[in-house]
Amino acid sequence: MKPGMNEPLLQIRNVSKTYVTPEGGSVQALKDVSLDIAQGEFIVLLGPSGCGKTTLLRAIAGLEYPDSGEILLDGQRIDDKPAYARPVNTVFQSYALFPHMSVAENIAFGLEMEKLGKEEIARRVEETLVQIKLTGYGRRKPSQLSGGQQQRVALGRALIKGPRVLLLDEPLSALDLKLRRGMQVELKRLQQETGITFVFVTHDQEEAMSMGDRIAVFKDGEVIQLDTPREMYRNPANRFVADFIGETNLFPCDIHSGVVSMNGQTIPRELLAINAIIGEDGSSVVAIRPEDLVISPDKGILEGTVRDVIFTGSAVRVHVLIGSEEIVAVLPSHGVAVPERGQHVYLNAIHGTIRVLAS
């Protein structure tokens, strides 16, 4: 759970879900998933398409029912309740705004269904418009708004009811990069201001890293790592997480009597992560982040030929061919010597940055 939090608000207990395919087969979307989510936490469910993250979100929302397991909110089961009886709201990728209604009417819709008084609704709509930075837009129709503004309206409609948990199913995927990054900042601000627990689904690892207090990485219906973004980036649980979270170089290695060798050369112990767990003798894989590599003109743990040098503004990406493998080093764009294409170079790693991974 989020640091400083004690009791979980939302508890996922051994939830499983299997779908029957049109061909008569079956797909297990969730496999005995357990997860505790704290009050006021921004948690991200991350993984490739078909990994189970959206199925879990829909199960929390009441749009799917688990085959087994329990979902509890404030210690009370909600998995056996219909969607309308759960104190959660969902923001979808498509926004799902009513095109014939104004912005204010869209935002007010849920409160009108609850038969609140007109004055109360009007007051809360105005407060919400301020909160989502759309003051003065209340009379506009969705078609008169930009994509980012439509997303704000969808958020306002969900937030105005004060849900205990807000569920967000890839809500920013339809936006262009600049709008998307702006909305990431806005979402994080809204979550911190309201104190509402956010459960956010995405397949974009950069989005997950920039927004989540914690990230749950899904693969084949299971949570394979649950951690803070920083810890997950620096200490991936296995090869899949290392490859999925950020960019990394994966290189085959051999282990013998606790000694790790790569490309026939022993890796000095001081280069390995402090908490590196060296497994049984045999073949494995090491992970080295591109920014943890240093290029040397004379000696190193690896050597090869520069294949490409790509200037990106703040950094230079150097692609080095080592036998049939290619490694990427990311260097600062100034203050260091940058090799040329075709040059023979050596590669070293910063102390404590090489990880030996489980498969």
Host H or E run for residue 53 = helix 53-61
pLDDT at 94: 81
Q: What is the pTM of this model?
A: 0.88
pLDDT at 148: 85
pLDDT at 253: 86
Token pair listed for 87? 């104190």
First to last CA, the chain: 26
320 in Cβ contact with 304 (< 8 Å): yes
d(CA 145, CA 212): 28
Residue 6, phi-psi category: left (phi > 0), alpha (psi -120 to 50), beta (remainder): alpha
The pLDDT tens digits along the chain (359 residues) read 554 456 799 999 999 999 988 888 899 999 999 999 999 999 999 999 999 999 999 999 999 999 999 999 999 999 999 999 999 999 988 888 899 999 999 999 988 888 889 899 999 999 999 998 899 999 999 999 988 889 889 999 999 988 999 999 998 887 888 888 888 888 898 899 899 999 999 999 999 999 999 999 999 999 999 999 999 999 998 899 999 998 999 988 888 888 888 878 889 889 988 766 666 778 888 999 999 999 987 888 899 999 999 998 889 999 999 988 899 999 988 878 889 999 999 999 999 999 988 76
pLDDT at 177: 81
pLDDT at 39: 94
Instruction: Please report the domains of the chain, with CATH numbers, ordered by start residue.
Output: 8-234 (3.40.50.300), 247-357 (2.40.50.140)
